[in-house]
Every structure is written in C-alpha cells, then in structure tokens.
Amino acid sequence: MKFRAERDALLEAITTAGRAAATRGTALPALTGVRLEVVGDELHLAGTDLDVTIQVQMPIASGDAGVCVIPARLATDIVRGLDPGSVSFEVDDNEARIAAGPTHYAVRVLPPEEFLRLPQPTGDAVTLAATDFADALRQVVPAASRDEARPILTGVLMAAEAGGLRLVATDSYRLAVRDLPGTSVLQEGQTVLVPSRALSELNRVLAGADQVTLRLASDEASFEVGTTRLTTRLIEGDFPNYRQLIPQSYPNRLIVGREPFLNAVRRVKLLAKDATPVRLTLRSEGLELVAVTQDVGQAREELEAKYEGGEMVVAFNPEFLIDGVEAIAGDEVQLETLDALKPATVRSTENPNYLYLLMPVRVS
C-alpha cells in the first residue's frame, strides 16, 4: 500500500477520523488507531471506539491499493509536524514509512484484521440545514451529563414535535430544550436518544458545511457531511419526563442585556471559589450580583434591568448560568423564577425556540 497526498488535507482527514479512536484500554489495540485504505484515487480513513465511528474520504495524487491501521495520536502528531506540501506514505509488512521533504518516519502498524467491520448507513435519508442543526447542538449538548454511571442522561433526546424536531438534554441540574420548526426527521411520536459525545464530534464536522444528511436505524444514527460520515449507537432506555419540570407560568420576570449580564457574572465568578454560587438580588431598581467566599473575599456588581415581581434573592452555579446565557441568541435575556428554590428558566426575549431551565442553589 502506498499513496501521496497534500499534508493539510491529510492532517484534516486523519485528525477527524482519529477523534473516534479508542483512547482508553481496549482488548483490541487496533481500535486505538486510524484505518487507512487506498481505493482507486481516494483514501478512506476511519476511526472507531465501537460506540462512535467517523469515516472520511479524500482524494490522493497516486496510490497502490491496500489497508493499514496506524496509531491515531502518533499519526496525527507526525503529519502535523511535517512541512507543508506533498506527503508520501508507504506500508510494507509491519511498518509504515511517512516522508515529506527531508523528514522521514518509520512507524509500526497495528493489525488491520482487528479493526471491526465499518457500519453502513441504513434508513431513510433526511437532509437538514447544517447551520441550524449546529446551532441547536451548541445550545443543547453542554447540558447533557458526563457521568457514565447514568447513561440515559449522557444522551440528547431527539423527539418529533408538532411542526418540527425537538432536542433535549439534562444532567439533572439544568435542562436545555431547542426546537427546530419545520424540520421533519422522525415519525409522529417517535424519539431517539443520541450520545452527546457523538453530537459534540458532529458539531466539529458541521463547521462551514451547508447541509447534513441524517439516517436513523433501529439501533444507530448516521450523519453525513460532505465526505465525512459519523455513525453512533443509540442509547437504550427512557428519557426522564422533562415536561413536568417546566412551570406553565412565573410570577417573577427579569429582563437584562445579554452581554452586560454575561460579563458581570464572569467578573463576580472570580470570587466564587470552591463551588460557591453567585447570588442574584432581583428588585424593581435593577439587579445585583454577589459572590462571597470565606477567607477569600467577595465581589458585588449592580446592573440595570427590568424586573416584575416580588423582591427576592436566588443563587446559581455560575458555570451553569454562563452556559445557558451564552447559548442564547439576541441582545436581551429573560430570567423567570417561581421562588428561590424552584427551577428558573432563561430564554431570549426575541426567539422562543430555546429554553434553559436551571436549578437554584440553596444558600443560607
């Protein structure tokens, strides 16, 4: 097997495929690598950890057919370090030789027979606008749990709603809901649970793309963006009944400028050490933010804001609050509360398609 390719194109392809390679201990060492196969005038690359698979195709200048598996991280570092221009890649027996200009590497390859069969997409194809879908993922995916002990919460729910598609994620401390009106991906009443890690990787692939094609099978989903395909296993189980967490109405409503609010939370957060919450005092005169950490100090800032409701103090995890406000589009943020202990919602005053629900932190 051998081929020649431009370094920049090869680096992008091998980096993209390598993101799906296994990084933890595995019984199959080949899964820590990227599979390269020369097919005619194309190079097919793939990485997988059995849960997520990323496949990439790219043109090559010339090549001889063959297959090899090379350690993903090492291959990425090697290609990144080469001078721009043409890269030659040749495999004989158990060694891959990579060269560009005066630089030459010889790397032991992994057994390609251990690299499991690559998934082939099944199911009807649905094409979505990449920009809208990427924006929805950016808003929702951060709210999914990272705790593998609760696999259901590590997924993003995709549900058919009247008039479109809904994405939902929660880690039990916050909840993000984004609607995509007019997007028909699922049958009426159908839901699937997609791993948030897979959607995080997909969002990287979506950068600069115009369209994404989605196919749903009984146990997996595949997303095609240009010459890249990401396939992931679906999570089995029932997603929590998130609707019952969202109050129908709120007696207290704060409207504040998005950027001033974000900047104020970031500044006050500097004194919120060791999981100290940021306290918001809501009153008709405006908004006050305070963080107090014993033996460290305190920070306080006042902001102009419109407020309707009874004066109250509510506290939030500052990182979670920032995540929700950053995800909102528009110039103003609307914060609605019932009381200091019940979930509050954050949304845009201009766009009703995104809702972020956040549990307050109890403070004395």
Cα–Cα distance for residue pair 313/307, rounded to 1 Å? 13
Domain ends where: 244, 272, 306? 244
Average pLDDT, the chain: 92
pLDDT score of 306? 96
Domain ends where: 225, 244, 263? 244
CA distances 312 to 91, 253, 279, 286, Å, are: 69, 11, 10, 12
pTM of the model: 0.90
* In a shared domain, residues 203 and 254: no
Cα–Cα distance for residue pair 120/234, rounded to 1 Å? 15
* In a shared domain, residues 145 and 184: yes
CA distances 23 to 17, 19, 154, 282, 338, Å, are: 13, 9, 18, 47, 44
Residue 251 has pLDDT above 90, yes or no: yes
DSSP letter, residue 51? S
Residues 6+ positions from 120 with CB-CB distance below 8 Å: none
Full domain range(s) for residue 159: 125-244
Q: Could you give the number of structural domains in the chain?
A: 3
pLDDT tens profile 314-351: 999 999 999 999 999 899 999 999 999 999 999 999 98
Burial class (CB in 10 A: 0-12, 13-18, 19+), 343: middle
Burial class (CB in 10 A: 0-12, 13-18, 19+), 28: middle
SS3 call for 258:
helix
* In a shared domain, residues 103 and 157: no
